[in-house]
Amino acid sequence: MQNGLINGEAIQLQRQEQQLAEDHQEREIERQEAIRQQVQQHSQYADLCYEELQAQQLIRIQRAAQEELERRKDELADQAHRAARDAVDQGGDLNELVIRQEARQPYVEPLYHHTLRNMEVECRNCGALHWDTERLTSSSRIHPKFGVCCLQGQVRLDPFQEAPAALHCLFRGVDITAHEFRDKVRSYNNAFAFTSLGVKIDYAVTSAAGPYSFRIHGV
């Protein structure tokens, strides 16, 4: 009888410990989820702030460039008016002066140059390098996503096989032969790029009128 009571208490204590462990695990999961949501909210807020700053900076640059362009246009117009007035005062042909001015405009260096920057933004799924402007519009600069390489991880290719030992030594070696190979590797590649070709020529295409076409695929 006493052993039965002890076993019942042990089972009850074990159930209580198990319930406490489950409750603790649930609370830990809820805490981690709250932290994840908080981090995500902070990340989204940071993305919005960064995009807003970039947009404001671009607007300021474009406004300054437009103002400078208007100023230069006014200067050129003033110069043209002074040249026309001088030509009329000296008895010159005004029509000839206008034609010469339209044909010979001074070069104006633009204030704002568009640049793609370096191709150094890495896809987090496949590691391919991209320009920042290639990212999807639904992504941000801090967390860029790309669709032209692997469709955001949907396409997975097997890694490249290791090069043969002899070729690996030529590309990675430090001896004279390896240096000479790397210096002339483009010439070697060109020599073996298109050595010979055996096809069935479609004379219905090559003998037709119009630009010459060499058909090597299809019927």
pLDDT (mean) for 137-145: 85
Tell me, yes or no, whether 14 and 93 share the same domain.
yes
Average pLDDT of the chain to the nearest whole number: 77
Distance CA 146, CA 157 (A): 16
- The percentage of residues in the chain with a pLDDT greater than 70, rounded to a whole number, is 73
**Statement: residue 18 has pLDDT above 60:** yes
Whether the Cβ atoms of residue 67 and residue 46 lie closer than 8 Å to each other: no
Distance CA 12, CA 18 (A): 10
54 lies in a domain? yes
Tell me, yes or no, whether 17 and 72 share the same domain.
yes
In this prediction, residue 177 carries a pLDDT of 92
Tell me, yes or no, whether 73 and 138 share the same domain.
no
Question: pLDDT, tens digit, for every residue of 51-86?
Answer: 777 777 778 877 887 788 788 777 877 777 776 666
217 lies in a domain? no
Q: Picking from 43-47, 58-62, 174-178, which range would have the lowest pLDDT averaged per residue?
A: 43-47
CA end-to-end span of the chain, whole Å? 95
147 lies in a domain? yes
In this prediction, residue 218 carries a pLDDT of 47
Look at 208 and 76; give whichever has higher pLDDT.
Answer: 76
Tell me, yes or no, whether 105 and 16 share the same domain.
yes
Domain end: 80, 99, 114, which one? 114
- Kindly state the tokens that stand for 106: 């001074």
Domain range for 54? 2-114
Tell me, yes or no, whether 108 and 12 share the same domain.
yes
**Statement: residue 156 has pLDDT above 80:** yes
pLDDT (mean) for 24-29: 81
Tell me, yes or no, whether 40 and 97 share the same domain.
yes
219 lies in a domain? no
Tell me, yes or no, whether 152 and 192 share the same domain.
no
218 lies in a domain? no
pLDDT (mean) for 112-140: 86
Tell me, yes or no, whether 128 and 59 share the same domain.
no
Tell me, yes or no, whether 139 and 173 share the same domain.
no
